[in-house]
């Protein structure tokens, strides 16, 4: 049943995946459910809700992410940082669906970073790693920085951009996944953060508002 719901959602999102990738997504969901019983990685516990609220919710961002990467004409492997990743959402999903992207999931909670490491090992994802750290401690000069820094329901836009700015490489963008349009947060952004696109998302099977706020450091 879960595979049927997932494949129907992928069709709705116009996101063709291989059978192996669909299996990896379901394996990840099963691993998340298993660890969640002990480590409380997510408040959502019902398997059907996990599929829509976590997997399909994260998958809805793949098309927009691919478009922005193409528009940026990035050369070489793309590096993405998922801030406050928790149980690996959307970072693990991105690593499965986009093997050409190197994904680092950073969280201040050690057990959550350890879970991402376990997911990478279990599913054979060499492009995924869990990082136990505060995002403020990640500096671009240490590893070349990240092309995309994303978050999903993590913090206010001013806090997210302020805490993660040092991890951006030149020309990088922020991708903030939000629920309702965050009008007040947008008004509170500092002048050195430029919003260049607010994108509405439709998540299959989820009757709730979702959007992505695309930002970059302002020039000048």
Q: At what angle do helices 19-39 and 110-122 cross, to 10 degrees?
A: 150
- Residue range 154-181: average pLDDT? 95
C-alpha torsion sign, points 23, 115, 90, 143: negative
| Contact criterion met (CB below 8 Å) for 128 and 105 | yes
Express each pLDDT in 37-55 by its tens digit. Answer: 777 667 566 666 778 888 9
Please list, in sequence order, all residues whose beta carbon lies within 8 angstroms of the beta carbon of residue 189, skipping any fewer than 6 positions away.
157, 158, 161, 195, 215
3-state secondary structure of 13: coil
Q: Strand pairing of 101-107 and 146-152?
A: unpaired
The Cα 185–Cα 200 span in angstroms is 16
* Structural domains of the chain ordered from first start: 2-217 (3.40.50.150)
For 68-91, the pLDDT digits (tens) are 999 887 767 899 999 998 889 999
Compute φ and ψ for 6, nearest 5 degrees. -65, -45
**pTM score, two decimals?**
0.94
- Helix 19-39 × helix 2-12 angle, to 10°: 120
């Amino acid at each position: 049943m879960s595979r049927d719901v997932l494949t129907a959602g992928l069709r709705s999102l116009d996101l063709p995946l291989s059978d192996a990738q669909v299996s990896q997504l379901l394996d990840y969901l099963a691993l998340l459910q298993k660890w969640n019983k002990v480590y409380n990685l997510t408040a959502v516990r019902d398997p059907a809700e996990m599929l829509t609220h976590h997997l399909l919710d994260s998958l809805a961002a793949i098309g927009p992410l691919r478009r922005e990467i193409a528009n940026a004409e990035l050369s070489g492997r793309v590096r993405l940082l998922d801030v406050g990743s928790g149980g690996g959402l959307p970072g693990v999903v991105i690593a499965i669906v986009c093997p050409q992207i190197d994904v680092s999931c950073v969280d201040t909670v050690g057990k959550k970073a350890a879970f991402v490491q376990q997911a990478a090992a279990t599913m054979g994802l060499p492009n995924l790693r869990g990082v136990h750290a505060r995002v403020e401690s990640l500096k671009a000069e240490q590893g070349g920085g990240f092309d995309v820094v994303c978050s999903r329901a993590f913090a206010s836009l001013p806090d997210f951009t302020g805490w993660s700015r040092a991890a951006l490489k030149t020309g990088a963008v922020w991708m903030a996944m939000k629920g309702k349009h965050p009008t007040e947060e947008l008004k509170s952004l500092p002048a050195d953060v430029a919003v260049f696109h607010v994108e509405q998302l439709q998540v299959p099977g989820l009757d709730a508002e979702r959007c992505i706020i695309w930002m970059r450091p302002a020039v000048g």
